[in-house]
Amino acid sequence: MTIGRNPGNLFKNTGRELGARMLALALGGLMAAAVACGGGGVLFTVVPPTPSNPTPTIGTGPTPTTVTGPSPTIVTEVPQNIATEVPQNIVTEVPQKQQGVASLEVQPGTLSLEAGQDLRLTATVRDAQGTELLGRAVTWSSDNPSVALVGIDTGLVKALSPGNATISASFGGQDAKAIVTVLSTKVGSVEVQPGTLSLTLGQDRLLTATVRDAQGTMLPGRAVTWSSDNAAVATVDSVTGLVKAISLGNATISASYEGQVNTAIVTVARVEQVGLVDIQPKTLTLLAGQEEPLIATVKSSQGQPLADREVTWASNNESVATVVRVDSTTGRVKAIGPGEATIEAFSEGRSGEATVTVLASCSEKVLQGDAFYNQGQFQKAIDSYFEAIRLCPQDARTYHKRGQTYIGLGELRVAILDFDEVIRREPGFSAAWYDRAQAHFNLRQFQKAVQDFDEAIRQNSLKPESFHGRGLAYYNLGQFQRSIQDFDEAIKLNIRYDSAFSNRGLAYSHLGQWQRAKADYNEAIRLNPQYAQAFYNRGLAGLGLTQFEGAISDFDEAIGLFLKFQAAYVGRGIAYYRKGQCELAIGDFSEAIRLKPIDATALGNRAVAYTCLGEHQKAIDDWDEVIGFNAEDDFAYNSRGLAYVSQGKHERAKLDFDEATRINPGNCDAYFNRARVNFTLGNDSEGTKDITKGEQCESRR
């Protein structure tokens, strides 16, 4: 029998088949390197659960003296249906010799971006016949990185500042270029504050202008030009916006920038005596701890409002309610304890009053709910907050506390309803946006989480936990560069943020930047030597760098800190396997299976290790269980078929190879393996057909 290929070398189970299984890395998840062992299979892995300790904690619990309350830990576990693929250059196969490169083309050749935008370029490598050479990793560079940066191995261009830059792609002695023009961000609007202004003769007042883009984002450092339509009444400094009252009347002050204009109306009037001070509202009913504003309007004896008159505030009973000045007309009242207090506003010898009543019943129920929460008695806390809301349904903060408590009970969808109510009543309460983002995150609604983190950051850009949470959401959406940017911001705001370092390391690992990842894990461990997750993640980086001794040491540390760290046993088992210590590998995989009996990852890895020891029946038993978990796992069928071949059960092996090719027609190895079985069984024509199918399959890769 002559077939142009030595049938003795046909059995295959290469790492290429695994795709996303190869060194898969996700939040708190397991990546494993893959190697061939006696034709017996390739180690692979999926994402395991994360221990309760390591990944980031966002938020603090509610107490009687705070409005933000605690929030649970954001879970960084990624379930098995979120697969990730690591670049092929991690596979430990001998690289093929490069074909001759004749040309390199970059698309698009020219592009225009606004500052802050990004766009990915593509490069096509061709041989002398014009055939595209797939899978060639070009190197990218920018001749003007202050204008535009480019990812060295991604081709992602980031526009930084106005100007021009040339982006170059290089491979195999060939290079090609694209011209990038970065434009200034277009102005969408100009806002002037205040919009109306009342002055007396000789007074002056500074106006301010805010320039925004079309999306409403503030554009700092933009100098508007000021002008007055009636300089006889009011003048304005064209640069500073300082308005000066000249004579009685009205004038319109304009601020303009790049074609956008907004105005303020200035009224110049005579000085009048204060006749009365009017406070609104005149009565307030609050719970202890609540705050509300009072507005004082100073009026003349004829009842006309007098602008820019200063007001001072006082409370006659600060054990019930206090008041502090916010601006010239606003005072903020804070309820302290049950009772009644009179709040007064004074201006030039005149005064006005408002009555504040602080209720005891609502505050007592809220305090009772806080105490139950802090004791971990979440259902009792819910009951107390329900009663407080029944008594005082206007209190948005109690809805917030109840929502946080629902998170503690794991009732995330109900928690979101409470946060919705808080945001409806008090849209400026950033903690509610932040906590709702957490709930969406833990429901794996990552895009909604990003939107809520956006608003939380807009309202409070100094909270590192918000950037960290949004970074985790981007990570789970597969947007690793954006997640790295958010982790960068979190670290800038808190240089000791160990979770941000560890999770940024995970994002770098996904991009194949193992050394950067390892540096971040090192810093996380330096900041927190008890951080089991960081040791585990550094162990994964060790696998990616083929530093197996170091990986084993890190997995040892992770297990020492968290004895039931199931994923760490799988990781250490892979490292032992890569060192050829199959007995130790089997021991670790067996312990991982004991901790989590339904883990197909650990079972599949143990099957491969059994194959290396020649224990084919045990390998078959493990593959049976893997297939029991997922009957559409073509890799498991192919691997079990190889084990049957090792036992001489060729008919049974052929059935498994049939099933592997049915499930995945792109499983080229299964065609070659079935060809060998067909030749062994005397089915030469079928074997030859399978050889052809395998070769056609490989040509499509």
225, 243, 269 — which closes off a domain? 269
pLDDT of residue 360: 61
Is the pLDDT reported for residue 253 higher than 70? yes
CATH code of the domain containing 291: 2.60.40.10
630-663 pLDDT, tens digit each: 999 999 999 999 999 999 999 999 999 999 999 9
Is the pLDDT reported for residue 30 higher than 50? no
Whole-model pTM: value is 0.51
> Considering the domain boundaries, does residue 256 fall inside one?
yes
pLDDT of residue 13: 55
Q: Which helix or strand (DSSP H or E) is residue 364 part of?
A: helix 361-374
533-583 pLDDT, tens digit each: 999 999 999 999 999 999 999 999 999 999 999 999 999 999 999 999 999
* Average pLDDT across the chain, whole number: 85
CATH code of the domain containing 167: 2.60.40.1080
Per-residue pLDDT band for 483 (boundaries 50, 70, 90) equals very high
Q: Is 356 within 8 Å of 321 (Cβ atoms)?
A: yes
> Considering the domain boundaries, does residue 155 fall inside one?
yes
> Considering the domain boundaries, does residue 614 fall inside one?
no
> Both 165 and 232 in a single domain?
no
> Both 256 and 278 in a single domain?
no
pLDDT of residue 133: 85
> Considering the domain boundaries, does residue 292 fall inside one?
yes
> Considering the domain boundaries, does residue 115 fall inside one?
yes
> Considering the domain boundaries, does residue 133 fall inside one?
yes
Is the pLDDT reported for residue 443 higher than 60? yes
HSE of 69, CA atoms in CB hemisphere, 13 A = 33
What angle do helix axes 430-442 and 396-408 make, rounded to 10 degrees? 20
> Both 323 and 310 in a single domain?
yes
Specify which of 87-101, 181-195, 610-624 reaches the highest per-range mean pLDDT. Answer: 610-624
Around Cβ 8, how many Cβ atoms within 10 Å?
A: 8
Q: Are strands 118-120 and 249-257 parallel, antiparallel or unpaired?
A: unpaired
> Both 162 and 209 in a single domain?
no
pLDDT of residue 119: 94
pLDDT of residue 136: 87
Residues linked to residue 334 through DSSP beta bridges, in sequence order: 291, 322
Q: Which of 65-69, 459-463, 651-655 has the lowest mean pLDDT?
A: 65-69
Per-residue pLDDT band for 466 (boundaries 50, 70, 90) equals very high
pLDDT of residue 94: 35
Q: Whose CA is closest to 296, among 332, 322, 323, 330?
A: 330
129, 156, 183 — which closes off a domain? 183
Q: How many domains does the chain have?
A: 3
pLDDT of residue 38: 32
pLDDT of residue 18: 29
309-354 pLDDT, tens digit each: 789 999 999 989 999 988 878 999 998 887 899 999 998 888 889 9
- Average pLDDT value for residue range 520-540: 97
- Average pLDDT value for residue range 411-429: 96
Residues spanned by the domain of 154:
103-183
> Both 159 and 206 in a single domain?
no
Is the pLDDT reported for residue 277 higher than 50? yes
Per-residue pLDDT band for 213 (boundaries 50, 70, 90) equals confident
211, 240, 269 — which closes off a domain? 269
Is the pLDDT reported for residue 83 higher than 50? no
136 compared with 632, residue with greater pLDDT: 632
Q: Percent of the chain, pLDDT > 70?
A: 85
> Both 288 and 339 in a single domain?
yes
> Both 279 and 349 in a single domain?
yes
> Both 223 and 283 in a single domain?
no
> Both 214 and 263 in a single domain?
yes
Per-residue pLDDT band for 499 (boundaries 50, 70, 90) equals very high
3-state secondary structure of 521: helix
Residue 222, exposed/middle/buried by CB under 10 A (0-12, 13-18, 19+)? middle
pLDDT of residue 502: 97
Is the pLDDT reported for residue 43 higher than 70? no
Q: Percent of the chain, pLDDT > 90?
A: 66
pLDDT of residue 361: 65
Per-residue pLDDT band for 597 (boundaries 50, 70, 90) equals very high
Is the pLDDT reported for residue 130 higher than 70? yes
> Both 223 and 282 in a single domain?
no
> Both 152 and 216 in a single domain?
no
DSSP line for 325-339? E-SSSEEEEEE-SSE
Around Cβ 500, how many Cβ atoms within 10 Å?
A: 30
> Considering the domain boundaries, does residue 303 fall inside one?
yes
Is the pLDDT reported for residue 689 higher than 50? yes
List the Cα angle 236/237/241 in 5-degree steps: 80
Q: Whose CA is closest to 450, among 436, 463, 461?
A: 436
| Cβ neighbours of residue 418 closer than 8 Å, sequence gap 6 or more | 399, 400, 402, 403, 406
pLDDT of residue 354: 93
Per-residue pLDDT band for 66 (boundaries 50, 70, 90) equals very low
> Both 316 and 303 in a single domain?
yes
